[in-house]
Amino acid sequence: MNLPFDKTARLDGYELEQLNVLHKAIAALKTAESHLRPALGVELRLTLINGDAAQALDQQWRPVFNQNADIEQRYYGTWAEHFFVPERLDEEYLIDNINNFDDPGAFNVAVWCGPRLVGIGRGGYQDEQKRGFVSVHLREGDPDPHHPFKGKIGRIIHEAASCHARAFGVDKVYYIGPFSPGAVKVHESMGFKKQMVETRPGEHQTVYVGPVPGRLDQRYALASNRLFRQEP
């Protein structure tokens, strides 16, 4: 994307490369969004985790935490710290802040239903793609049990991670624990395989391996729609 005054001209080669990687990650979320909307409706949006998501978590999810203090640390301790959360996602802001991103090619997603934040997913590192996989360390749904995509967040995040994997040329998504009983149920219901794999050089972990569908053809779209309709 060229701005009228082309602010990319002042980026060095590495910064421009990282900006292009970030564009690819954002475009992958838009692809996943287009795949899922026929089943879930036009109110579904997928974005990077940004300032709006952080604000929505405080305003929409915290009231539930206040009534269930035992789950607050599980949600907050997993993603709210230790990595850069962009305030905005417009092109000028991304150009100005490209060096603040810890890893522009790492997977992360905020799942929205209109203005409501209904899920978040966070992955590992861009370097993993060189070893043939995208990792997902965090996948959480809105703690309100009555949110509109209840029972569907796992599938939404997997479609987002799959599109991210395809965009970066890999064919596996590794879900890395610890795994709650609910997460195990979701992974197994989606046909993921539990395996011991090398997630970093010399480091092996037990993961659930999620298949990455190939080109989204009509048969896959229909199967996806049926799966969503069957969810409770």
> pLDDT tens across 38-68, in order?
999 999 999 999 999 989 988 998 888 777 7
pLDDT at 9: 65
pLDDT at 230: 45
- Residue 25 within any structural domain of the chain: yes
- Residue 2 within any structural domain of the chain: no
DSSP code of residue 100: G
Identify the CATH number of the domain in which residue 135 sits: 3.40.630.30
In this prediction the pTM is: 0.87
CB < 8 Å & 24+ apart, contacts of 19-26: 19/94, 19/95, 19/98, 19/104, 21/104, 21/105, 21/126, 22/94, 22/98, 22/101, 22/104, 22/105, 24/105, 24/167, 24/168, 25/104, 25/105, 25/106, 25/107, 25/164, 25/167, 26/89
- Residue 147 within any structural domain of the chain: yes
pLDDT tens across 8-17, in order?
667 889 999 9
Task: Provide the domain count of the chain.
Answer: 1
Report which of residues 42 and 145 the model is more confident about.
42
- Residue 179 within any structural domain of the chain: yes
- The answer to which of 54-63, 79-88, 176-185, 200-209 has the lowest mean pLDDT is 79-88
The whole domain housing 214 covers: 7-230
- Residue 1 within any structural domain of the chain: no
Mean pLDDT of the chain: 84
pLDDT tens across 205-216, in order?
999 999 887 654
pLDDT at 213: 77
- Residue 67 within any structural domain of the chain: yes
- Residue 203 within any structural domain of the chain: yes
